[in-house]
């Protein structure tokens, strides 16, 4: 019987963020993806964008598809609902994979979140433009990764209800995801783009929090490393899933 993988996109994205991965893994797994609240077909609609409701989305998918367990693979902010779900429903999660994952720690990233929460009453397009610039800062004169990420985030962020990105900042400032991560016992793969400098600033104690974590970086990639280098990510994730299955079978 095939195992299941659920792919969870990040903020401003859609379930299509993992189309290439789904096409590859569909050969051996049942693969699923869905749009986060206020994204996809609901883009622009006002929604109650809470962590409880985001976890409830995952719970509904498990119920609707009749899933007993699944591997969860999440991009960026998707690490929040997936970690909370994994702690609430431990027996239903076989492994976790975070791409561009992050948590609340003293870091450059956390400082950016604090600043933009404090000025959240600014005109939304202007606020979003500055915010997009600061979460994807250009590291050098020749740095296409941050420029691409910044443009995409700003373009599609404008199409969202403005409270979604602001609520997401609030979650990352107030919810102690760091403690939740410490409770993870299933196999976990943490993937970062080597150019994703500001998000990597939050991970200084990652291997202390999760001693069994497998940390990998993808060269020549920015924040959404699976989209910058899809084949490279697929190879990493494929190897991880194989090893995770071997661990479980022993």
Q: Determine the Cα–Cα distance for residues 228 and 61; give it in Å rounded to an integer.
A: 28
Query: Which of 153, 172, 164 minimizes the C-alpha distance to 109?
Result: 172
What are the residues whose beta carbons fall under 8 Å from the beta carbon of 233, sequence distance 6 or more? 21, 99, 191, 218, 225, 226
Q: What's this model's pTM, rounded to 2 decimal places?
A: 0.95
- Residue-wise pLDDT tens digits, 194-212: 999 999 999 999 999 999 9
- Residue-wise pLDDT tens digits, 26-51: 999 999 999 999 999 999 999 999 99
pLDDT above 90 coverage of the chain, percent: 91
For residue 112, the tally of other CB atoms under 10 A from its CB is 17
Domains of the chain: 3-105+176-249 (3.40.50.1820)
Cα-Cα-Cα-Cα dihedral sign, residues 62, 35, 162, 97: positive
pLDDT above 70 coverage of the chain, percent: 96
């Amino acid at each position: 019987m095939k195992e299941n993988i659920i792919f969870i996109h990040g903020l401003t994205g859609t379930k299509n963020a993992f189309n290439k991965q789904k096409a590859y893994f569909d050969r051996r797994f049942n693969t699923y993806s869905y749009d986060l609240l206020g994204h996809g077909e609901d883009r622009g609609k006002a929604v109650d964008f809470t962590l409880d409701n985001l976890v409830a989305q995952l719970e509904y998918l498990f119920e609707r598809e009749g899933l007993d367990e699944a591997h969860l693979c999440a991009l960026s902010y998707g690490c929040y609902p997936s970690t909370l779900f994994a702690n609430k429903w431990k027996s239903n999660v076989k492994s976790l994979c975070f791409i561009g994952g992050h948590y609340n720690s003293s870091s450059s990233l956390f400082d950016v979140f604090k600043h933009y929460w404090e000025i959240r009453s600014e005109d939304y397009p202007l606020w979003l433009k500055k915010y997009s610039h600061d979460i994807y800062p250009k590291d050098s004169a020749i740095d296409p990764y941050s420029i691409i990420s910044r443009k995409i985030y700003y373009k599609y962020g404008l199409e969202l209800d403005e409270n979604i990105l602001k609520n997401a900042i609030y979650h990352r400032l107030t919810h102690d995801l760091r403690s939740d991560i410490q409770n993870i016992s299933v196999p976990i793969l943490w993937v970062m783009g080597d150019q994703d400098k500001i998000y990597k600033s939050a991970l200084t104690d990652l291997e202390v929090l999760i001693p069994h974590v497998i940390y990998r970086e993808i060269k020549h990639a920015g924040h959404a490393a699976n989209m910058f280098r899809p084949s490279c990510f697929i190879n990493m994730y494929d190897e991880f899933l194989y090893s995770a299955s071997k661990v479980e079978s022993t």
